[in-house]
Amino acid sequence: MELSIIFLIIILIFLLPLILGLIFMGAQKKINLKHTNSGLNKPGYVGYCWTYFFFSFFVPIFRGEILIGVLHLIFSVVTFGLFQLVIPFLYNKQFTSRMLTSGWELSDTEENMQVARLKLGIGN
């Protein structure tokens, strides 16, 4: 009985950033982006990055940001993993903002774009 309560507390502590992120920032939401010159489509994201919470620096690498992924690995090592607890709150906003400043634009339903603008802090 005691061991199961301790195990449950450890799991809750481990999942606390995920729970707080989902409560205060909302779930990760996919937003379609379109490149202005080439017309290519690519997903952007807003909200708490639960994928980063579980897969850490691999997320930027899989999204094509290899240098960012390497920097996140270095920051995680230097901060003894504390960086891993903070960045899921920030990564989706940073990723989508970088996309929007490098020739991509929102290309989704008006409702989804309004949510994205609100979460990214950008005007119409």
- The domain limits of the chain are 2-120
Per-residue pLDDT tens digits for 83-109: 998 999 999 999 999 999 999 999 999
- Lowest-confidence segment of 21-30, 34-43, 66-75 by average pLDDT: 21-30
Tokens of 63: 């999204």
Long-range contacts of 56-59 (CB under 8 A, 24+ apart): 56/84, 59/91
Instruction: Please state the φ and ψ torsions of residue 64, each to the nearest 5 degrees.
Output: 95, 10
- Reply yes or no on whether the pLDDT at 1 is more than 80: no
pLDDT digits over 38-74, tens only? Answer: 999 999 999 999 999 999 999 999 999 999 999 999 9
- pLDDT, position 124: 61
pLDDT score, position 8 = 87
pLDDT of res. 114: 92
**pTM (2 d.p.):** 0.82
**Dist CA 116 CA 96 (whole Å):** 9
